Structure 1
């Protein structure tokens, strides 16, 4: 194929390299890939959308030092999602939390919302540590532990 003629003195166009991925980008992609694998989502985009929705919902329920520590432990993008939420005035039960996500997600059912919530929250202990997850769970009403992939024992 013949070259397109260039005006006199024109500099040939060169491909501009994409910016190099930063370690922070790698952490975000690692989180998204972990959620994608956990939830068996077809695409990274779907896993990212679910992750953002679940972290936004969680962000309003975690306050104080736990919120700060959670944001510090997560990739920067996830931390922004958590930290940008206004704290709720009433904590939702775990079932209400899942139902509220289903209500806000187009085409979701309570079952798919529970899958989405668990797919995201189950990867957090590996990212932020069990001790921080235990502190977060202490702020939340009973029932959330199962969403994080933990057994929840109650006194008889």
Structure 2
């Protein structure tokens, strides 16, 4: 089931402690564009189907990535795409967006994590037992 845009952005805004919905939207756009480059096929399509339409399109038309980025490099890449961001603020952005996406993904999260390099469970706020 698709989550409503306002609900998704409110979750990101609250978790990221952003002052405005625009800040939450900027973070969501960048993080989902980078995430889309790391997901493929049916898993990416299923997650997109659960996101609000505008964010689904971003996930389905991702920024290009030459290789799958490990968690810390994903955060650095996010910092590079957000004007004025540091690695610390980008880590906050990634966590806010991916934890909201994890709630939206529900049981699909296991399949998402299988497509990603190790360490993304922490970025989604869902640490996996070793």
| TM category, shorter | over 0.9
Residue of structure 2 in register with 1:136 after alignment: 112
Larger radius of gyration: 1
Out of 75, 83, 86, the position equivalent to 1:109 is: 86
| CA 1:135–1:87: 2 relative to 1, 3 Å | farther
**Equivalent residue, structure 2, for 1:99:** 76
RMSD: 1.6
Quote the Cα distance in structure 2 between the aligned partners of 1:93 and 1:64.
20
- Please list every run of 5 or more consecutive structure 2 residues that lacks an aligned counterpart in the other structure: none
Question: Match for residue 54 of structure 1?
Answer: 31
Give the whole-Å Cα distance in 1 for the aligned partners of 2:76 and 2:116. 16
2:20 and 2:47 mapped to 1: Cα distance? 26
Contact 1:55 1:78 in 2 (8 A): yes
- With over 3 angstroms needed to count, the CA separation of the structure-2 counterparts of 1:104 and 1:87, relative to structure 1, is closer
- In the alignment, the residues of structure 2 paired with residue 36 and residue 86 of structure 1 have an alpha-carbon distance, to the nearest angstrom, of 23
Unaligned runs of 5+ in 1: 1-23
Task: Look up the match of 1:33.
Answer: 10
User: Which one scores higher on RCO, CA 8 angstroms, separation ≥ 6?
Assistant: 2
Alignment of 1:9-20 (within 5 A): none
Q: Which of structure 1's runs of 4+ aligned residues deviate more than 2 A?
A: 86-89
